[in-house]
Amino acid sequence: MKTPNAIGIYINLILQNGPKSTDLLPDRGNVDDAQNFLPKDSHMAFGFARETYRRLGDDLFQKMAVLKEGTTDEFEYPLVQDGEKKGKIKGISVYPETRTTGGPGGTRIFTNVLVIDVHGEYAIEDFFDPDFHFLIRLVPIQNNGLLDFDLDFDLQLSALGQIIVFFLETVITVLLPKLGLSLLLATILIIKIIEKVGEDAAAGVIQSQLDKTSFLDTLPNKLTVEKRRWDPLYFTTHCVEAAVDDLAVNDSGFAFSANDLFIGKKFEPLADMVIRAPTRGDDGAVNGLLYRATNLQPFLDTDLTFIFPAVDRMPFVELLSPQGDIESFRVSLTIDQIKDRLVSENKGVKDKHLEKIQYVPKKAHVIKHQIYKMLTVSLTEIAEIEQITRRLLRTELRAQNGATFRQEAIEELQQELGRPPTDDEINDRVNFKLDQAVAVAFPSRLKKELDKRMKFDLEPFEFADLQKMKFLTLGLGKLDIRTMHRDGRVTVYYRDHEQPFEPNVDQTDNLLNLPKYVSAS
């Protein structure tokens, strides 16, 4: 069949063939052997040959390599979690999936699914180490002609199926960040893992970012054009996407053709989004929330005001300017607007707004031995405030005591070394003294900085309402929402998992024992 005229672009993927990051495959292929495989009615075609399967598997495997302890040129391929070796990777293969129809001796067919097969050995103390195969299936799907990938997985153990939960925690924490799956694909896979083993088993071990680029990101079906912040609370990445009309994944290689192009969009909510305060209606009930919108200044007169056909901006009530040296811009949203942002167009993945933002109760407003309100702070802000506190302390202590620390350092080093110390040695000792001084002053100063910045307080039933809508979680999973019916009244409150008067339970953890404050309202 005659093929249309076409421009051919041939690319050598940068793939590792050894354990060092510099062990890369050399340039390969010969353009003199190039063939035009563009179908007659298509505008674009893409493909790679069967040899690329093996090269991709080798690349993924070699990215698992780490130096053996105490050596400079010996490598191993361990599964390590929290500093403890959990097993080892024996190899990784990439291949097209096949199935046999018609029973034994039947016809072998290709399913157009690409499989990543991680073969390894899982270490169990005082027992034999079972082999495993962790199969990740990349299933091509087409939404209105646009190519995307769904994922599924299968864990095959040589024995002891009951260790699946413990193994999967290691897989999520150790394997996924290194396999080079794009963040979207890894997120979908994690969701499927949670569906199989339960959310509790996977909680707390999922990493938010991956450190490798997927070879799927190099496929020309999606070309990133521009990333903009049309909305205060999320980014929009605009892509040109190919409408795939035919795809094949078989023992000849991987290929697809496309007959049209579309403009596509991908969304990314602010990673440091937190709730700063509630808004209330005339009846005093919570009718919305104020969300912090950091680093917004550069977009105020550009993205946030532009009106183009490609703009993606969801409704919000108003944008509030910063106040003082602590507050960022804040975005006021109604409850319904927040719910709309949590309903995504992208296969149920909530990618325009963060859900279940984690908060910790820090203080309690107590009236007649009952909690009227709780003052809380998010985990995101705690980490930020800790960094701010260390930075402030370090600057202040250096200004106050820097000269004293330097003189002490010179005298100590002179005595220890029996010679005048170098500038580097003096600076190292001064920094050590600063670190010690910061560590001593840190707890009391952190309390002050937290007190200056904590703003979000609600009544317990109001926290419970927001938690049920998945806007936030309170108490990091250690608090239960309880409902009490008495004398025709309904009271909603939080209760610690541990009953408050059980023996051997730390009573200081009880919500009523939190430091007291008086709510502004």
Work out the pLDDT band at 165, boundaries 50, 70, 90.
very low
Residue 59 falls within a domain, yes or no? yes
Q: Does one domain contain both 145 and 261?
A: no
- Do 96 and 147 share a domain, yes or no? yes
> Based on the domain organization, do 62 and 135 belong to the same domain?
yes
Helix axes 423-453, 379-417, angle to 10 degrees: 150
**Contacts of 328 by beta carbon, 8 Å cutoff, 6+ apart:** 292, 293, 294, 296, 322
229-257 average pLDDT score: 87
Q: Are 159 and 226 members of one domain? A: no
Q: pLDDT tens digit string along 318-370? A: 999 998 777 899 999 999 999 999 885 444 445 799 988 999 999 999 998 88
Residue 243 lies in a domain: yes
Average pLDDT, the chain: 80
3-class SS string, 132-150: EEEEEEEEEEEECCEEEEE
- 192 and 140 within one domain: yes
- Residue that terminates a domain, selected from 250, 269, 288: 269
- In this structure, of 108-122, 202-216, 377-391, the range with the lowest mean pLDDT score is 202-216
**Residue 39 within a domain:** yes
Report yes or no on 240 lying in a domain. yes
Q: What is the pLDDT of residues 290-330, one digit of tens each?
A: 999 999 999 999 999 999 888 999 999 999 999 877 789 99
pLDDT score, position 120: 81
| Section 182-187 average pLDDT | 47
Per-residue model confidence as pLDDT tens digits over 380-412: 999 899 999 999 999 999 999 999 999 999 999
Taking the C-alpha atoms of residue 3 and residue 352, their distance in angstroms, rounded to an integer, is 43
Interval 230-247 mean pLDDT: 86
Report the number of distinct structural domains present in the chain. 2
The answer to whether the CB of 136 falls within 8 A of the CB of 189 is: yes
- Residue 23: CA count within 13 A, CB half-sphere: 14
Domain membership flag for residue 185: yes
Highest mean pLDDT among 146-155, 188-197, 283-292: 283-292
Domain boundary (218, 241, 259) is at 218
Q: Which domain covers residue 226, as residue numbers?
A: 222-269
In a domain, 230, yes or no: yes
Chain mean position to CA 55: 28
241 located within any domain:
yes
**Same-domain check for residues 251 and 196:** no
Pair 265, 312: CB distance under 8 Å: yes
Same domain, 107 and 171: yes
The 8 Å CB, 24+ separation contacts for 339-346 are 339/469, 340/314, 340/315, 341/233, 341/234, 341/314, 342/470, 344/267, 346/266, 346/267
Residue % of the chain over a pLDDT of 70: 78
Q: Does 88 reside within a domain?
A: yes
Task: Look at 64 and 211; give whichever has higher pLDDT.
Answer: 64
Q: Please compute the mean of the pLDDT values over residues 508-520 and round it to a whole number.
A: 80
The reply to whether 210 and 246 lie within a common domain is no
Given this model, what pLDDT does residue 393 score? 95
Give percent above pLDDT 90 in the chain. 39
The tokens for 207 are 């990493």
pLDDT digits (tens, 9 = 90+) for 30-83: 888 888 888 888 888 888 889 989 998 898 889 888 888 878 889 998 876 556
28-32, 200-204, 476-480: which range is least confident on average?
Answer: 200-204
Model confidence at 161: pLDDT above 60: no
The answer on 115 and 234 residing in a single domain is no
CA–CA dist 44, 320 (Å, integer):
48
Same domain, 151 and 195: yes
Strands 222-231 and 107-122 come out as unpaired
- Considering the domain architecture, whether residues 121 and 168 belong to the same structural domain is answered as yes
Residues in a beta bridge with 76: 66
Q: With a cut of 80, say whether residue 283 has pLDDT above it.
A: yes
Q: How far apart are the first and last CA of the chain?
A: 79
**Alpha-helix residue ranges (DSSP H) falling in 198-299:** 199-202
Whether residue 96 is predicted with pLDDT greater than 90 in this model: the reply is yes
Among 269, 284, 299, residue at a domain's last position: 269
Give me the amino acid identity at 403: A
Closest CA to 315 of 346, 293, 337: 337
State how far the alpha carbon of 304 is from the alpha carbons of 117, 175, 227, 238, in Å.
45, 39, 13, 16
Tell whether 104 and 237 lie within a shared domain.
Answer: no
Are 340 and 319 spatial neighbours (Cβ–Cβ below 8 Å)? no
